[in-house]
Amino acid sequence: MTEEISFGNDLTWTGDAMGEVAFPSRHKIEVALPAQFGGVEGFPSPEDLFVAAANGCVLTTTLAVAKKHRIALRSYRSEAVGVLERLGDGREVTRIDIKVEIAADSDPQALEEIFAEVAERAPVIRSMTSSVSIYFEVVDG
């Protein structure tokens, strides 16, 4: 038997090239067509949210895997960049690079094992057809 977990949201067009995404948690995010395509400056685009989903998934998967292996993290910071390219008759995010700086109370070998597990298990990234590269750097923190 397959376990199914559903995630949902509601989206309302608010005018011009903007909308508001509402989540069951009652959090809301305004989104807009990217300014480069005639949208509104200063608001996240669906492309921004797509890249943020990959970045957030690396964080939450890292936290879960570290907890499973009883490794205490001291700090975590990451930066993600997605590249949108024209392919055929449309555009798509072809790749996402995520750079993670992490400090933890653990030996480097254990951290390397965790990093490999995170890259293999992150569910949002596993669901993407875009190429996603994750670079972990251990820092003092």
Condensed to tens digits (0 to 9), the pLDDT of residues 78-128 reads: 999 999 999 999 999 999 999 999 999 888 888 889 999 999 999 999 999
In the predicted model, what is the mean pLDDT of residues 14-42?
96
Q: How deeply is 121 buried, as exposed, middle or buried, from its count of CB atoms within 10 A (0-12, 13-18, 19+)? A: middle
Dig out the tokens for 77 from the structure: 């910071």
Average pLDDT for the chain: 95
Calpha distance 30→26 (Å, rounded): 13
Model confidence pLDDT, tens digit, residues 54-64: 999 999 999 99
Specify whether the CB–CB gap between 11 and 19 falls below 8 A: yes
- pLDDT score for 107: 84
- pLDDT score for 141: 64
Specify whether the CB–CB gap between 101 and 78 falls below 8 A: yes
Give this prediction's pTM: 0.93
- pLDDT score for 63: 97
Calpha distance 18→33 (Å, rounded): 7
Looking at the predicted structure, is the pLDDT value of residue 2 above 90?
Answer: no
Dig out the tokens for 107 from the structure: 């030996």
- pLDDT score for 124: 97
Looking at the predicted structure, is the pLDDT value of residue 1 above 90?
Answer: no
- pLDDT score for 106: 87
